[in-house]
Amino acid sequence: MRALVWNKPHSMTVEDVEDARVDEPTDAVIRLTTAGICGSDLHMLEGRAPVEPGTVLGHENMGIVESVGSAVRTVKEGDRVVLPFNISCGFCFNCTRGFTNSCLTTNPKAHSGGFGYTGMGPHRGGQAELVRIPYADFNCEKLPGSPHDQYEDDFLLLSDVFPTGLHATKQAHVRAGDTVAIFGAGPVGLLTALSASLRGASEIYVVDSVQSRLDKVKEIEGATPVNFSDGDPVEQIIDLREPHRRSVQDLRPGSGGKMPGVMCGIDAVGYEAWGRDSVGGAQDPSQVVDDVIRVTNPTGHVSLIGVYFPSDPGGVDENAKQGRLTVPLGQAWNKGLSIEMGQAPVKQYNVYLRDLILAGRAKPSFIVSHRLALEEGPDAYEKFDQRAPGYTKVLLKP
């Protein structure tokens, strides 16, 4: 089969590799109809996360079941399915409590298994013609329709970024009427903003500096783009909130401007954040965390959904290389903030989001900018990594 293979930093090639096959009675194999390139894949592209040469990447996968093992009961050949990026067993201590992002069975070296991703086990990714699915009964989410119909791209986003965006709002405790600031208008940031809108947030601010991404923010009901190239984004958000905040605080005696920010702050960038004074240049891995804590009001909630690794060979200093960052813990403590972080347990959300799509209540594919052949994958990786204008979300069509 043809597959997109990592060779060394910034070197991806499409090669012939051994076909995916059923290895265990509980396995299935699907033929990919769509696979996404995720912002998280860029950490491996750049060599900022450990990955072995010859690895097939890709954790955003959907397609048609090609074959199933003898123990598979609920999935059959010809079924259309989407796969959560977390590979989980469904029966371990964590899975039975809903934490499929921390499965104890599918990764022999650690908690948490996944497709084609660093540290998440020996499983090949789906940027290929075929991919093997362990524990297929649990990991295959069935879909209606047929390949490349009007829902194809929406359904693909159920594998990761739409559930991840919804999980970010859950971590940040977004409720109807809440005020929300999201840092990062990449795919996760945009679908976090969509999720906040679906949850009824009254004000949503999305921070970035790439104009094509900020333009996408305007397509989300209730969302306001904030370009940090124009100045301190926290100060911009406080200024934008002023008219509404003043009217609200007039109804709350004693507030006296002590709650100028938002109640929910979300980091959808992670450790490769640009420094505010060097857009597209020098990185400052603690910049976004610092801003999120500053913009979040006392007693508010913070979600760190952006990726942070325990090691980073390209870190800006020795501490960053070991995943140690300087953050304003004292300010967060003084404000009484709650902070939640980590991968999304996709299985908790994707069936509900599927039905939201089918009901016409959400169309997450508004973020998709490119639909390309598998052979175009290497160039698409580089363009996406460079934040090239218009490269919002790239889908491959094997």
For the chain, which residues make up each domain, given as ranges?
A: 2-160+345-396, 165-341
On the 0-12 / 13-18 / 19+ scale of CB atoms within 10 A, 135 is buried
Q: Quick one: pLDDT at residue 336?
A: 98
Question: What is d(CA 41, CA 224) in angstroms, rounded to the nearest whole number?
Answer: 28
Q: Quick one: pLDDT at residue 387?
A: 83
Q: Quick one: pLDDT at residue 244?
A: 78
Question: What is d(CA 258, CA 298) in angstroms, rounded to the nearest whole number?
Answer: 8
Residue 224: name the closest of 240, 211, 242 by CA: 240
Least reliable range by pLDDT among 113-122, 252-261, 326-335? 252-261
Least reliable range by pLDDT among 38-52, 231-245, 277-291, 356-370? 277-291
On the 0-12 / 13-18 / 19+ scale of CB atoms within 10 A, 280 is exposed
Question: What is d(CA 11, CA 312) in angstroms, rounded to the nearest whole number?
Answer: 19
Contact 246, 163 (CB under 8 A): no
26 contacts: CB under 8 Å, gap ≥ 6:
69, 71, 72, 134, 135, 136, 137
Let me know how long the chain is. Answer: 398
pLDDT, one tens digit per residue, over 250-267 is 666 666 678 999 999 999
252 or 109: which leads in pLDDT? 109
Look at the domain 165-341 and name its fold. Rossmann fold (3.40.50)
Residue 74 pLDDT grade (very low, low, confident, very high; cuts 50, 70, 90): very high
Q: What are phi and psi of 136, to 5 degrees?
A: -60, -35
Residue 274 pLDDT grade (very low, low, confident, very high; cuts 50, 70, 90): confident
Which residues does residue 296 pair with via DSSP β-bridges, in sequence order? 262
Least reliable range by pLDDT among 25-39, 174-188, 279-293, 329-343? 279-293
Q: How far is CA 221 from CA 38, 193, 218, in A?
A: 24, 9, 8
Exposure class string for 240-257: b at 16+ Cβ within 10 A, else e: ebeeebeeebeeeeeeee
Q: Quick one: pLDDT at residue 314?
A: 87
Question: What is d(CA 169, CA 315) in angstroms, rounded to the nearest whole number?
Answer: 28
Residue 277 pLDDT grade (very low, low, confident, very high; cuts 50, 70, 90): confident
Residue 223 pLDDT grade (very low, low, confident, very high; cuts 50, 70, 90): very high
Report, at the CATH architecture level, how domain 2-160+345-396 is classified. Alpha-Beta Complex (3.90)
Least reliable range by pLDDT among 42-51, 72-81, 246-255, 352-361? 246-255
Q: How far is CA 125 from CA 86, 248, 269, in A?
A: 11, 49, 23
Two domains, one topology: 2-160+345-396 and 165-341? no
Residue 365: name the closest of 198, 191, 223 by CA: 191
Q: Quick one: pLDDT at residue 146?
A: 96
Share of the chain above pLDDT 70, in %: 96
22 contacts: CB under 8 Å, gap ≥ 6:
28, 29, 67, 68, 69, 132
Residue 190: name the closest of 366, 15, 59 by CA: 366
Question: What is d(CA 185, CA 216) in angstroms, rounded to the nearest whole number?
Answer: 8
pLDDT (mean) for 16-43: 97
The tokens of 110 are what? 């650690």
Q: Quick one: pLDDT at residue 248?
A: 65
Q: Quick one: pLDDT at residue 254?
A: 65
Contact 391, 370 (CB under 8 A): yes
Residue type, 178: D
With a cut of 70, say whether residue 38 has pLDDT above it. yes
Least reliable range by pLDDT among 115-129, 267-281, 341-355, 368-382? 267-281
pTM of the complete model:
0.95
Residue 396 pLDDT grade (very low, low, confident, very high; cuts 50, 70, 90): very high
317 contacts: CB under 8 Å, gap ≥ 6:
none
pLDDT (mean) for 170-188: 97
Residue 243 pLDDT grade (very low, low, confident, very high; cuts 50, 70, 90): confident
Question: What is d(CA 248, CA 204) in angstroms, rounded to the nearest whole number?
Answer: 16
With a cut of 90, say whether residue 7 has pLDDT above it. yes
Residue 72 pLDDT grade (very low, low, confident, very high; cuts 50, 70, 90): very high
As a whole number, the mean pLDDT across the chain is 94
With a cut of 90, say whether residue 369 has pLDDT above it. yes
